[in-house]
Structure 1
Amino acid sequence: MTLTLTRGITLLLAITSAMAVATVYFAQPLLESMAADLGVAQQQIGWVVGATQAGYALGLLLIVPLGDLLDRKRLLLGQLLFSALALVGVGMALNWALLLLALAITGLMAVMVQLMVAHAASLASAGRQGQAVGTVTSGVVLGILLARLVSGGLADLAGWRSVYWVAAGVLVLLALVMWRSLPTVPAAKYRSSYRALIVAQFSLYRHDSLLRQRGVFGVLIFAAFSVLWSAMVMPLSAAPLSLSHAEIGLFGLAGIAGTLAASRAGRLADQGLGERTTGLALVLLTLSWLPTAFVGQSLTAFVLGVLMLDFAVQAVHVTNQSLLLAGRGEMASRLMGAYMCCYSLGSGVGAVLASWVYAHWGWAAVCGLGMAISAAALCYWLGLHKTRAAKAALQCSGQNL
């Protein structure tokens, strides 16, 4: 029986992806409260995000490749339930070490998002994989958006720990819905051992030039993304602004631009415009730090900067995934795992650097850091573009001869 990606399955994968990725981002408006509750210094706050991303990276290496070996439905159900347990652990953590451990496990399980993106791409018909990836990734963007908004509101009402207890209950409900609704569809058969599968994933970095290129973009754009979202809570919660958790979470509404970018970027990639989309988005990403730097003078300017950054990051992210997965559904899980390791590395390093830079030099230095990372990504794209143009010119001259 041939299965296709129906609207209902797409919606289920998008909603579950939204909740799964939300577990990674719940902490961002809560960093100050977590640190104060557990007696942690300001320059160490970034390790909350760093621990989650470390777990995420490990999951990408060890769990996501299983999507090419095992029944993805069973794998997803198991991750949902283990994630719920980890979230309960976060809410019950009474010291810094236990909190970081529970967050690392939360990140480890959150890689189910990549399995769902890979599953959507595998089920989509030829020529519509980019659109499928874009639709499911739109759910991811909404999850990031709602995570900040909901966690801020719940924290103001019942404390930061309540956020994780409520999230655990939602994941259990989603597991029940997925158990009843998602068809049992085995992934493309990879006829080898788990060890060989992991080795094959690592070998992708050596043999796949497109993965290496898009992986560099992934490291840089998510480092810039994490620099903003990990550090912004500090100037927003400090005097003279002194915003509440809920008010800080409202800034995530600017991320609606990311939803638009995710949907449109997938279609542009299907039309062969992925490289051009990447270049324009990286220009926007670099410029976004200019209005963001004025958080103390104008919240309107700050919101504009956040909107520009979210739009640019999601446009490049979806383009990366669409180009990597096009026509390669049989190895989709391994490709997504390898690519998202780059995402996790960038996010973790960006968070740790941002909190350290802010503690020593303030918000202006954080914006300088973010702009430098964004400009590095743009320069890398320009270098690749120049190389491609030179090769095309050489081929053209050879044909004329």
Structure 2
Amino acid sequence: MEENRLSNAVLYLMAAGAGLVVANNYYNQPLLNLIAETFKVSESEVSNIPLFTQLGYAFGLLFIVPLGDKFPRKKMILIDFVAIITSLLTAAVAPSLLMLGIASFFIGFSSVVPQLFVPMAAQLADDKQRGRAIGIVMSGLLIGILGSRFLSGMIGEYFGWRIMYVIATGLMLIYWLLLKWKLPELQPDFKGSYTALMKSMARYFKTESDVRLAAVRGGLGFAGFSAFWTTLVFLMEESFNYGSGMAGAFGLLGIGGALAATWAGTLSDKINRNKLITMATLLMIGSWMIFGISGSSLWGLMLGVLLIDMGLQSLHITNQNIIFSKHPEARNRINTIYMVGYFIGGAAGTISGAYAWEMYGWTGVAGIGLIYSLLILVFHLAFKKPDFSKEV
């Protein structure tokens, strides 16, 4: 396969796959109350399930994704699917919360395939279309995150949470067949050892301030996002007397925000990226202000979901367009640095959101989310570099 030959069929296959695979990490969030009932545990204890999933994802990013610069991409992905399917089946039959937590860690660890697709799209697209290609794949990814919540919420309410994991296993088997048939192979650029590969990643982390700053911005944004989605199911039950189905339904609203990914990717090819990041951050700050006064208003929560998804996705796409513009031979390693920071932020948001809920209720969750978003603005304005590549 030659460089810069990205067909729409392959691009949309990767976008669909990004959504289907990343969804495995988020099926648990609307199901937390059902899982807590099954194992007779508290809300803070069951919040360890999304925490373990996010930590697993961070470890997968660190140890699996860099291998995309060393081994043929398609072969790697097809092998990884064996681990995804095994982990999902283990979760479906887990006899205890501990076993579900272990399975959730490995679901996260293995479900890093979307972070191999994003650099593939960036590598296959030409320079003028790179932002668009990244945006389309990331649209698929975020639609998967949000759609997974709706799907698991409804299935959990009517059939039980274990059935969701059985269905997820079937989806992965079908998609594995499609990948084997359609996904092109890309040969690696890195010829050294695994140790040298990891050392080179440390070198990029030390020398590339743009990548470090992007990881901080992305991690703080995802921290607030995770705090919201981890606690939303508890708010729905306590304040509105709704179950997992309604909490999952909020994911459908967020899909509107996910569609902003394509727009944001195209826009980041044309205008000043620093301004785009500032605008995205202000959207997230506004969403948390709305959440703060909407603990008893479904309409306010709906508006906040749209804004936070639009803001986070625009921030994320612009971050990735910035970091992928450098070192094309090391895009998987660069993406690993960024995404490890992103999901460490998600894990921190899950923990802090759960404790904020237990101690201060929804007001505490809104407060911690607002703090995370304000910190993005502070770090961005303090450490951003001028973007001379765009006139506007």
Q: Is the CA contact 1:21–1:110 (under 8 Å) kept in the aligned structure 2? A: yes
Alignment of 1:2-401 (within 5 A): 2=2, 4-187=5-188, 189-238=189-238, 240-384=239-383, 388=386
SS of match in other structure, 2:127? coil
Partner of 1:395: none
CA distance in 2, matches of 1:2, 1:302: 47
SS of match in other structure, 1:191? coil
SS of match in other structure, 2:137? helix
- AA paired with 1:191? K
Q: Is the CA contact 2:253–2:306 (under 8 Å) kept in the aligned structure 1? A: yes
CA distance in 2, matches of 1:246, 1:231: 14
- Where do 5+ consecutive residues of structure 2 fail to align? none
TM-score by length of 1: 0.93
SS of match in other structure, 1:232? helix
Q: Is the CA contact 2:261–2:313 (under 8 Å) kept in the aligned structure 1? A: yes
| Residues 144-199 of structure 1: per-residue CA shift (max 9 Å, x gap) | 12100100111122100110110011101100111011122223x20100111112
Please state how far the C-alpha of 1:129 moved relative to its aligned partner.
1.0
CA distance in 2, matches of 1:36, 1:359: 17
TM-score by length of 2: 0.95
Q: Is the CA contact 1:289–1:370 (under 8 Å) kept in the aligned structure 2? A: yes
| Residues 4-24 of structure 1: per-residue CA shift (max 9 Å, x gap) | 110110011011110111001
CA distance in 2, matches of 1:212, 1:336: 11
SS of match in other structure, 1:297? coil
Please state how far the C-alpha of 1:203 moved relative to its aligned partner.
2.1
Q: Is the CA contact 2:65–2:112 (under 8 Å) kept in the aligned structure 1? A: yes
| Residues 14-69 of structure 1: per-residue CA shift (max 9 Å, x gap) | 11110111001111101111122112222223211110111111111110001001
Please state how far the C-alpha of 1:273 moved relative to its aligned partner.
2.1
Larger displacement relative to structure 2 (3-12 or 265-274): 265-274
Please state how far the C-alpha of 1:327 moved relative to its aligned partner.
4.7
Please state how far the C-alpha of 1:388 moved relative to its aligned partner.
4.7
Q: Is the CA contact 1:293–1:302 (under 8 Å) kept in the aligned structure 2? A: no
- Where do 5+ consecutive residues of structure 1 fail to align? 392-401
Identical positions, percent: 32
- AA paired with 1:35? A
Q: Is the CA contact 2:274–2:386 (under 8 Å) kept in the aligned structure 1? A: no
Please state how far the C-alpha of 1:274 moved relative to its aligned partner.
1.4
SS of match in other structure, 2:241? coil
